[in-house]
Each structure stands twice: as structure tokens, then as C-alpha cells.
Amino acid sequence: MRFGHHPAAWRHPSSSGSGRPDLDYWVRMAKLAEQAKFDTFFLADFIGRSGENIEQSSHTGISFQFEPFTLLSTIAAHTKHIGLVATVNTNFSEPYNVARQFASLDHISNGRAGWNVVSSFSPDTGKNFGIKEPPSHDQRYERAAEFLELTKKLWDGWDDDAFDNPDRAAGNFFEPTSAHPLQHAGKYFSSQGLLDVARPIQGYPVIVQAGNSDTGREFAAQVAEMTYSSAQSLEVAQAYYADVKGRMAKYGRDPEQLKVTPGLSVVVAATDQEAQDKFAELQNAVDFSHGVNLMGIDVSDYPLDGPLPDNLPVTENGKGRAQQLIEFARRENLTIRQLVLRFNVSRGHVQVIGSAKHVADTMEEWFLARGADGFNVVPPLLPGGFEDFCELVVPELQRRGLFRTRYEGKTYRENLGLIRPENHNTQR
């Protein structure tokens, strides 16, 4: 995200520049991540905006930023190794367009594309697209599953070497037997023909998914190769890790082919006290005067210093994360104000605030105790929080032998230790 995950990040004195999209900023961040030997540059995308309640929304630092494919195509030209993950929502796109966009990005980046498959549905976004009847939670996942199935069929429409050796003397641009036209007629989509881009270098882009609900976990076990999850404690992370990986066998999948990466809301400095002071600056800037929204649940009409009310409305969007929030509030006996400062500011992820040793200790503990295969680093404040992480934490992890000092693979999949999927039309 442009300014960081903390709701007050955009108001911080170090937050410079306008709210306009800034290409140089994103390129600089991607290059910094690559210099630090990160696996992934993961671009969030929250498509659509409401035309209502503009006065209220004008007080929030929502990132009005670039469309992911356009931005990542440019970043691909400025980097060589880091994986490039684009968030694409299956409710507001078509499989054919998405299949050709990802195939293009994978070729442009020499095999570094990843797809964060999102099926969340905001009523406001639905209005942007003229969708009057929002699908249910289960319908969205069902549609997403067919969406992904169809895009894979489209990627498999050509042999890997279909366009490698045009026979100019004979006048054959490609061998006809290398093409595998599809005939897809499903519940949500139908498609006939062939993709107009060669099969991706990686076979398929790396499939990423975020889902904490039971339906989301099942979807992850069936199709995901990386999950972006949230956990407030090691125990919660371990339970999620074991649950999702434990569901994979029934789909014939190896648990090692799914990388679980919980979010890490991290503030690091030379000392623990300095890190706490940095975080306090952000906390003190949180604005409660324009309503309170907790992961999609509006609680503005309730006392800030009172408990979370009973019988909260059930949200169809982000069910798993909303349930985490409610359980956390009850377990810790938090007021609404405390809940915002403990949960909203970290987006439900574990908060680690302290020295490089403290941060690395936490990461090592979660990794060795099977709470994580890696972490999605989400500093509350950008760019400074990420610069601090790269300067202080990465060298500490490398000293401990927990993190690479150089890239070894040629593609994103290879660096993650993921297999390259075979073409279903040609595998034996």
C-alpha cells in the first residue's frame, strides 16, 4: 500500500508527496525489495470507489493508485529476480482477459508473475460495475474456482514450445498439433477457442490466495501455492498452518507446495524503545472523529470506550477476518477504541515492535514452530518502515542462516521451491 498499513500513515510527517500515483516511488520500493533478496513484490488492489459519503472517505488515506498489471509491467523492466504478484478480483474481470494479461506479464518479466486470486465483493464496487445483486460468500468462491479453472485451460491451450521454431521455408508459423482449442461451458463462464499469447514461462503464474474463513481455507488447500493469512498469535498461526496444509492430501497435493505467509506488522529500530516511540507517533495520530469501521463493520454509533456490542451484523465480505476481530475483542476484553488501536492498525496481523534481534527472534520462532513458511511484511508506515526492515532485519536473518544471500532460481516458482505445472493437454 502506498503510505503503509496504518490508518494514520498518510498523515505522518515523513509521508511526503501528493496522493497521486507515483511511478518512481513504486519502482524504488521494488528495487529495494530485490536488493534485500525478497521473494515477492505483492501489490494490493482495492478496485472501485463509492460516490457516496465522500465527506467521510475524504478523511481516510485510501490509496488511489495504479492498476496492477500496468504498474507491474513497468516494474518488471526495472528488476530481474523478484516475483511480481498482482491482485485481480474474479468478480469484476473475465477469464480470457486475465489469462492473456498474466501470460503477458510472465513473458515480460521472464517468468516472475503471480496472481493473488481475490473474490471479495464490496457493494460499492458492485455499483461501479452495475452489479445489483451481490453474490453470496459461497457463490463468490465457486465462481472464483471456475474462473481459475478456465484460465488454466487457456494457458494450456498451447504447447510450451509452440512458437519456438517457426518453419519459414515451409511456411509454418507453428505446428497445428501444438494447439489445443478449448470448449468450456460451465455454470458461470463459457469459452471456445485459443489464447492469443504463448503459454506462460512458468506454465501458470504462482497462485496466491488470502482467506481465513472455512471456505477460504478449503479453496487455498485446493488451488493456492501461497496464502496471505493473518494471525495475532503463534498459536493461531500454527492452527491455521496445520489446518490448511492438512486439507491438501484429499486434492492429491504435497503440503510443501503451499507456502503459508502470515502478515507481519513490523516496526523496527536500533533499540526496542526507539521502535516503540516510532509506533506511538502513529497511534497518537489515529482519528476517531469521522466514524469507526472495524473490518467492514460500522460501529460508529457505539461508545468508543465501551465494549464491542453483541449481535453484530454478519458480513459477507472478509468473514474469517471479521470473526478473528470479534474473538480477539472478547478474549482480551477490549473497548472499541482499544480494538482499533490493537487490530485495525495492523489489519489483524501480529504486531512486532522492537530491535532487529526482537523481530528476528519472533520470525525464527514462528518459522521453526510451523506457524509460517515465510512472512508478508506489512510495515505500518512506508517507505521508512520497509527501509528500516531491509537495513536492520534482513542482515540479522541472513546471519542466522534463515534467509538467502542470493537468488538461485531463474523464475519466481524456482525461488519459492514450487514445481512447474505440466500442460494438461500434453502430460502423460
Tell me which residue of 223, 224, 222 sits closest to 208, measured CA to CA: 224
pLDDT, residue 60, reads 79
Domains and CATH numbers, the chain: 9-162+179-263+357-416 (3.20.20.30)
Measured distance CA(26)–CA(39) in Å, rounded: 16
pLDDT, residue 318, reads 59
pLDDT, residue 425, reads 93
Point out which residues pair with 83 in neighbouring strands: 40
Residue 140 phi, psi dihedral angles, 5° rounding? -65, -40
- 85 close to 116: Cβ distance less than 8 angstroms: yes
- 318 close to 120: Cβ distance less than 8 angstroms: yes
pLDDT, residue 427, reads 63
pLDDT, residue 153, reads 98
Q: What is the CA radius of gyration of the chain?
A: 22
Are β-strands 182-185 and 190-193 bridged in parallel, bridged antiparallel, or unpaired? antiparallel
Q: Is 254 exposed, middle or buried (0-12, 13-18, 19+ CB in 10 A)?
A: exposed
Mean pLDDT per 10-residue segment, the chain (428 residues): 85 82 95 98 89 82 86 98 97 97 98 96 90 89 96 98 96 96 97 98 97 90 95 93 97 97 96 94 82 76 84 64 75 81 76 97 98 96 96 98 98 98 84
